[in-house]
Structure formats: structure tokens, C-alpha cells
Amino acid sequence: MKEFRNPSNIHEPVGSYVHHIEIKGDERLLVISGQVGMTRDGAVPDDPYEQLGIAFDNIVHNLHAANMDVKDIIKINWYLVGDFDPAKRRDVILSKLDGHKPCSTLVYVAGLAAPMYRVEIEAWASRAD
């Protein structure tokens, strides 16, 4: 069982996340390596927001392969390169999370594994069977 919490003695989250998630009992844990904005056929679009959407879709494909879905994500790390409009970035992220609020960290970095990548997302998920 997962308990999603925002302790009352610290600030409310300023985005689509919770401060912590406690896992109790027997659950499967899925750790997903960083996913980039590359399609199945190897294409990487120039548009960073399109990359953001594709990278998150790749997270979802990993979840589905483990019989999980977005609501099973407990922790997500977003790594972004370059300038992203905060409102547009937030809109893409919120649309992909579909109201789910996992623990989340967003970091701007100087670069990723290859210069064409503008986004990398890693995630942890858990589900009781």
C-alpha cells in the first residue's frame, strides 16, 4: 500500500507532486532508467516540448510492460537542457500525469548523453499485486 502525503508542518507543493510517499506491505517496485525523447524508430525531434512528451510516453510504455500505469509512479526525476517556458513545460507535464502527483524533482542540466537530447526522465513505480 502507498500513502501519498504532504506533511502539514511544511509548505504545500508548488507543482504536480507530493512531498513523500511511503510504501507499506508487499508491492512490486519498478525502477525505470532515464528515458529520452526518441521514438521507437530512432527519431529525435528538434522541438523540446515534443521530446518531453515522447520521453514521458516512453515512461508509460515501460509501466505498461510491467502491468502498471501512471498512477503507480511514486518518484519521477525530470532533467531538462536549455530554455523551457515554465507554463508550457508545466502544461505538458500535467497533461501526461493526468492528475497524479508523485514525488518529483526537476533539474536543468548542461547536457545529456547526446547533444540532440533536451529531455531525460527517470521514474520509480510500485504496485501491489
Return the pLDDT at 80.
97
Nearest CA among 65, 46, 40, 68 for reference residue 126: 68
Return the pLDDT at 16.
80
What stretch of H or E contains 94? helix 86-97
Return the pLDDT at 109.
98
Return the pLDDT at 121.
96
Return the pLDDT at 12.
86
Instruction: Specify the number of domains making up the chain.
Output: 1
Annotate 29-93 with DSSP letters as a single string.
Answer: EEEEEEEES--TTS---S-HHHHHHHHHHHHHHHHHHTT--GGGEEEEEEEEES---HHHHHHHH
Q: What is the pTM of this model?
A: 0.86
**Contact assessment for residue 4 and residue 101, using Cβ atoms and an 8 Å cutoff:** yes
pLDDT tens-digit profile, the chain (129 residues):
788 888 898 888 877 888 888 887 888 999 999 999 999 999 999 999 999 999 999 999 999 999 999 999 999 999 999 999 999 989 998 999 989 999 999 999 999 999 999 999 999 999 998
CATH code where residue 100 lies: 3.30.1330.40
What range does the domain containing 86 cover?
Answer: 2-127
**Contact assessment for residue 106 and residue 80, using Cβ atoms and an 8 Å cutoff:** yes
What stretch of H or E contains 96? helix 86-97
Task: Return mean pLDDT, the chain.
Answer: 92
Cα 14 from chain centroid (whole Å):
16
Nearest CA among 108, 12, 31 for reference residue 73: 31
Return the pLDDT at 10.
83
What's the half-sphere exposure (Cβ side, CA atoms, 13 Å) at 47? 7
